Structure 1
């Protein structure tokens, strides 16, 4: 149902001919867009300035469509609350669910999947979801309000039933728990852990486990059905399609996660 709903929404936003996006700028006016800090999607660079895939996507849309985006940083929980309450027009890198499709349209621009980051001293016997469950003292941390896909959600539900899940407000808090050893595992998209590996912030010996290789998480623009006209959503979809076709998306992904991971972010 989730996949069908998402595809229906994506098709709704992409009904015009893709190459029509080469016309003169489409003035969509002033739009507030909420960002959230999360790995390569949105982070501070070495000079303390905000950067990331999501910022580059929004900047490029502004150039192509003439939109005046007013970005700000907020927690993911407040973002979803405000979108649902029709007080926020737009956010980024959101995952569609049947509930969310009631109040928002989603325009996809990347795919990823969740990996499990394990502490280096976890038991060698822990090699999949079932064996982690079998270690009653082991806990996992996730970001509150995040959705983790078909494989991980039932697993997390069982861990929650056993009181073995920490829910954090943001990515920084998630990684702090992990580095302090308060939890044995965290769930992270490859767009999240890849920059940490490149910067060596994870340290040597952290185990990166691919326990759901068939899962696909589709991230996209999140557009309020009440506050963003459907015609504007269609223009966003056209522009993103053009960015994919002309190599702009690949260049943005490569800049933040490297060429190897970037190549696998187009399965939408």
Structure 2
């Protein structure tokens, strides 16, 4: 048994002890949007990295989940309106911080991703903006911080933005030539191609380039201050935080992705 496995077992034991003395005051409302191997659905059953993490942490903390499948933009709308208790996955933003509590789970770095094996990829958002014919396809509702948000707003104003409901739509837009690239962590895009049979051949064409303005940052989940009381947030903060610190989130990512595919876009918390 290696160090990571021992750490995960210890964390699960700690979570079990937490569940014996804690619990949530009501079932948790958790809308989820499909996002490759991170979140997928078989009928009404949520599968993948984050559903597994949610079920483990909720069970060990003595909480129940009510999971609903929605598009990503709808997921954000429900959370903003106080009709959802958890937003996952999510990057930290000032707007979200104003209404919810952020729990870091992993570190991510978005890149510009493209399927054109010959084109020179932008190395910065400024470079991307300066190319008048460069169109970007993005998932509606994604945010990777102010620099990303400002770039998306500028591209939308210049009619150089293709907005899709999910990463599958983005991949198909790139395949059809409707846009030259996308910006997101490569792990999200790779995970999407892996679960869509008609898109799997695109893995051989995929290229990634880090962007100067988008460095490593925490990704995780938000606990709503509008819908969750302080006691429930405390229970959940401890449950998810323990799993992240013990390496369980990193372990789940490695279990669901090809070996060696995560290094440029995702890493465990320091």
Normalised by the length of structure 2, the TM-score is: 0.78
Cα pair 2:135 2:181 within 8 Å, conserved: yes
Deviations 1:56-115 (A, max 9, x none): 110111221121111111122222222222222223112232222222222221221211
Deviations 1:211-249 (A, max 9, x none): 248623422222221221122212222222322344422
Q: Which residue of 2 aligns with 1:252?
A: 252
Could you say if the C-alpha distance between residues 206 and 96 of structure 1 is closer, same or farther in structure 2, counting changes exceeding 3 Å? closer
How do 1:1-268 and structure 2 match up within 5 A?
Answer: 22-23=17-18, 24-28=20-24, 29-44=26-41, 50-120=46-116, 123-124=119-120, 126=122, 128-196=124-192, 200-212=200-212, 215-258=215-258, 260=260, 261=262, 264-267=266-269
Q: Aligned-pair distance for 1:43? A: 2.2
Which runs of 5 or more structure 1 residues have no equivalent in the other structure?
1-18
Q: Aligned-pair distance for 1:122? A: 5.6
* Pairwise CA RMSD: 3.0
User: Which moves more between the two structures, 143-152 or 221-230?
Assistant: 143-152
What is the total number of aligned residue pairs between the two structures? Answer: 249
Distance 1:203 1:123 in 2: 17
Cα pair 1:149 1:216 within 8 Å, conserved: no
Could you say if the C-alpha distance between residues 240 and 219 of structure 1 is closer, same or farther in structure 2, counting changes exceeding 3 Å? same
Distance 1:259 1:25 in 2: 38
Distance 1:222 1:154 in 2: 22
Q: Aligned-pair distance for 1:44? A: 4.5
Could you say if the C-alpha distance between residues 189 and 77 of structure 1 is closer, same or farther in structure 2, counting changes exceeding 3 Å? same
Cα pair 1:168 1:174 within 8 Å, conserved: yes
Normalised by the length of structure 1, the TM-score is: 0.79
